[in-house]
Amino acid sequence: MSAACRSSYALGPLALLRCDGIIVSMSDTNTLNFYLAAWELSNPQLLTQTMTSQIYTVTHGAETVVLKLLSPSETEEQRGALSLRYFDGQGAVRLLRYDQGAQLMEYAAGEELVTLVERGEDERATRIIAQVIAQLHSVGQHAPHDGLVPLDSWFGALFAKAGADKEAGIQSIYVRGAALTELLLAEQRDIRVLHGDIQHYNIRQSARGWLAFDPKGLVGERTYDCANTLCNPVMPELVHNERRLLTNAAILAEMLKLETWRVLAFTYAYACLNASWWLQLGGNDIVAWSLNVAEIIEPRLA
C-alpha cells in the first residue's frame, strides 16, 4: 500500500483507508495484494481513483508500470484493454497483462498534452493529436473485432433521445443530430479500431513520445476519433471559439487526409451524443457545453 496511506478508521461496517484524500476499502486492498502477488509486482503507489478504477504505479522487474484495478461491474475498461491489445504500442501505451479485474500497462510518466495548450501551444497540441491518431489507425485491421462496440450501437443514447423528442413533437437539436448521424453511419469510410476518447487529457509524454491511454473499445469510421479533440480541453475561450474550432478541424483533416466537412459532422454528432448521455446523469453544465459546440458547428453543415 502507498506510503501516502494513513491509518484506517471505521465508517459503518466497512473498514477504510484514506490515501491522499482518496478512500480505499479493505476489499480493494485485498484485490491489490492479490495482483501484487499473482503478477509479481511491488512498491504500489496510488495515483488516482476514478468511478471505474483505482490506478497505481507499481514495480515490475526493474520497470515502473501502471496497475489499474477495475470496479466489479466495469465493462468499458475491459473493452479498452482489447483496443490497447490491438494497437500494440502504436500511438498508445503498451498493454502488458490483463484480465477482467485488472490491467497492467506501460507508464507514460511525462506531462499531459493539455499542458501545451495551457502554455499557449494549442495548434501544436492539435498536430500532436493528429500524429497520435495516425499511429493508432496505422495498425493492421486483419484481426477480428470481437468485443468492440460498433459506432451504430455507441450512438444509442442519441437515437433514443431523438426518438422521444420526435414522439413528443419536438424538433430538437437531438433530432437533427440523430438524422445526420444516421447518414454518416450509413456510409462509413475507412473502418478502424478506434480509441473513442482522443483528447488532451488522455495523451501523455513518454520515453517513446506522446502516447494515448484509456480507449473506449470502439470500431467504426476513423474520422470519429477527431470528435472529442474539438470539444476539449475544458477551456471555454477555446472550445466555444468558432475560429479555433474551424482551424483545428482543418489541421486534423489535412494531417489525417480527411474531409473537413466530415470532421465537423462527426464532432457535431458526438457533441449531441455527449449531451444525451449527460442529460440522463443530470450533468446540466456538460449538456450545455456540448450543445454549445454543436450549435457553433451546425450552420457549417448546411
Interatomic CA distance for residues 159 and 103, integer angstroms: 33
pLDDT at 18: 35
Closest CA relative to residue 256, chosen from 232, 224, 228, 233: 224
For residues 92 and 202, give the distance between their C-alpha atoms in angstroms, rounded to a whole number.
10
pTM of the complete model: 0.88
Closest by CA to 268, choosing from 218, 235, 227, 226, is 227
For the chain, helix (H) and strand (E) counts, in that order, are 12, 13
What is the identity of the amino acid at 42?
S
pLDDT tens for each residue of 34-50 = 999 999 999 999 999 88
pLDDT at 27: 62
- What is the residue whose three cell numbers read 506531462? 111
Residue 216 pLDDT > 80, yes or no? Answer: yes
Whole-number Cα distances in Å, 118 to 108, 121, 129 = 20, 7, 15
Half-sphere exposure of 249 (CA within 13 A, CB side): 26
Ordered domains of the chain (ranges, CATH): 9-106 (3.30.200.20), 114-301 (3.90.1200.10)
Residue 203: the pLDDT is 98
Q: Measured between alpha carbons, how far is 264 from 295 in angstroms, rounded to an integer?
A: 11
Q: Is the pLDDT of residue 289 over 80?
A: yes
CB of 93 closer than 8 Å to CB of 213: yes
Per-residue pLDDT reduced to its tens digit, 256-276: 999 999 999 999 999 999 999
Q: How far apart are CA 146 and CA 267, in angstroms?
A: 26
Residue 39 contacts residue 104 (beta carbons within 8 Å) = yes
Least confident of 3-17, 126-140, 206-220: 3-17
Query: Contact, 248 vs 121, CB < 8 A?
Result: no
